[in-house]
Every structure is written in structure tokens, then in C-alpha cells.
Amino acid sequence: MLTVWQNFIVVVLIVSSSLLFMWALNRVWAWEKRHAHNNLIGWQLSILGTTYAVILGFMLYTVWSNFGVANLNVDDEANALGNVYRLAQGLPDPQRGQLEVLASSYADTVINQDWPQMAADHTPEATHKINQDMWKTLMSVKDGTPTQIIAEDHALSELSALTEHRRTRLLQNVFRIPTVLWFLLITGGVVNIASTAMFGSGNRFLHTLQVFAFSLIIALALTAIADIDRPFQGSVHVNDFAFRRAQQSMKE
């Protein structure tokens, strides 16, 4: 996704294009002639603006909610991994040592491979193999004391949660706002900015300021939606702090 600098460039281009459109409109259609149509333009902009504001607000709320869910899912995945590591201490040998090594390797792989690959818009696969090995290790426990059996049962439950959260993370990494909704957002923004520029106003400075502010808000909202829509990419993304915390906990 776009970096902070690229987002800045996009915002500048949108605002500049809006002001350029207003300038060109004033050249081909004088404000004195447009002034007579202000009542019609104002009524149209009122409806369009209200409708677009609702759509824009809903999309911002949706992507921010999805971002929060992705962040919480990562935290749950890291917690499940930490629980698997701790429960491994109650297993018999050699499964105990094997599971501890695999859990530690899972955290290292997520930090060093999964996050960079997701940031590059790729689907990571390295942790899938480790997850499979963890299942094989747990399922290889045949006999043990009652305490070891209880530890195995709880470890299986946590490993199941870990697997589920990992799959959810990969799905969240590839999910995007449908193209038709982006078409709606962009078209709505263009129509609203154009309607604002069509007002016939004798105060050019005030009119320019209004178009500037309106286009700036729309540009910032669209770039925010684009960034937050990809929870593991871009300048605004879910970090790997939960796994670093789990990694540190395993080393203590």
C-alpha cells in the first residue's frame, strides 16, 4: 500500500485537480452566469453531500472496525502460541522439547517472515509447515500420567485456536474493499467536488477556500480508507508486537 509520502502526493493531486477544475470552470462559464443557478446547485449539493457523507462515514467505520478485529486476532494468535509453549512443559519427553522448539520457531518465523511478506502483499506459508509439525508432535503423545494427559488436552485446544487465528489472519491479509465500492466512493467524491466548484460566487477567495477545504477532507478520507483497508500493509498497519512479547516470554 502507499507510504505516508505517497499518500501526501495523492492528497495534493486531488486538491490541486479540484482547484484547477474550478479555475477552468470560471474561464468557460463566468460566475455571474452561474449565480442564477445557485439555488438549484445548492439543493443538489445538499442531497449529494448528505448521501456521500453517510457512505463515507460508513466505509470509514467498517474499515476501522475490520482493522480492530485484525489487531485483536493477532493478539489472540500470539496468546494461543504462548499457551502452547507453557503447556508443553507438562508433556512427556520427547514431545515437550519438540513442542517448545516449534513454538519458539513459530514466533521467530512470524516476525521475520510472515510480517515482511504480508507487508509486500504476499501470503506467507512458512508458519503453515511449523503448525503442521506442532499437530504431529501433539498427536504423537500416546501414554502419560493424568497430569500429562490434561496438559495434552489443553495444548490441543490452544493449538486449535492458534490454527484458526492464523487462517483468519491470512484471510484478513487478502481481503479488500470491492471495486464497485471504490467506484462509488471516487465517483461520489468527484461529483461533490464538481458541484461545489459550480457555485457562482463573487468572492473568489472564499469560494476557493471552500473548494480547497472540501476536496482536502474528501482526499484525506479516501486515503485513510485505502490505508486502513489493508491492515497489514502501508503506513497504518497491525504490528507484530504481540508476537515479540510472546517471543520474549518464551526466552525468559
3-state secondary structure of 236: coil
Residue 35: pLDDT band with limits 50, 70, 90: low
Distance CA 89, CA 190 (A): 61
User: What are 196's three cell numbers?
Assistant: 461545489
Distance CA 230, CA 120 (A): 11
Q: Is the pLDDT of residue 159 over 80?
A: yes
Of residues 250 and 45, the one with the higher pLDDT is 250
8 A C-beta contact, residue 21 and residue 197: yes
pLDDT of residue 117: 94
pLDDT of residue 130: 94
Residue 107: pLDDT band with limits 50, 70, 90: very high
pLDDT of residue 143: 76
Residue 133: pLDDT band with limits 50, 70, 90: very high
pLDDT of residue 2: 65
Distance CA 164, CA 214 (A): 43
% of the chain with per-residue pLDDT over 70: 91
Residue 33: pLDDT band with limits 50, 70, 90: low
Of residues 217 and 145, the one with the higher pLDDT is 217
Q: Is the dihedral of CA 146, 95, 133, 244 positive or negative?
A: positive
Q: What average pLDDT does the chain have? A: 87
First and final C-alpha spacing in the chain = 36
Q: How many CB atoms lie within 10 A of CB 196?
A: 23
pLDDT of residue 195: 81
Of residues 153 and 1, the one with the higher pLDDT is 153
Tens digits of residue pLDDT in 186-235: 999 888 888 887 776 666 788 788 889 889 999 999 999 988 988 998 87
Question: Once rounded to an integer, what is the mean pLDDT over residues 55-59?
Answer: 92
pLDDT of residue 36: 63
Distance CA 100, CA 250 (A): 9
Q: Is the pLDDT of residue 93 over 70?
A: yes
pLDDT of residue 142: 82
- Position of cell 513442542? 99
pLDDT of residue 37: 60
8 A C-beta contact, residue 19 and residue 208: yes
pLDDT of residue 251: 84
Distance CA 41, CA 38 (A): 5
Distance CA 154, CA 77 (A): 15
Of residues 197 and 168, the one with the higher pLDDT is 168
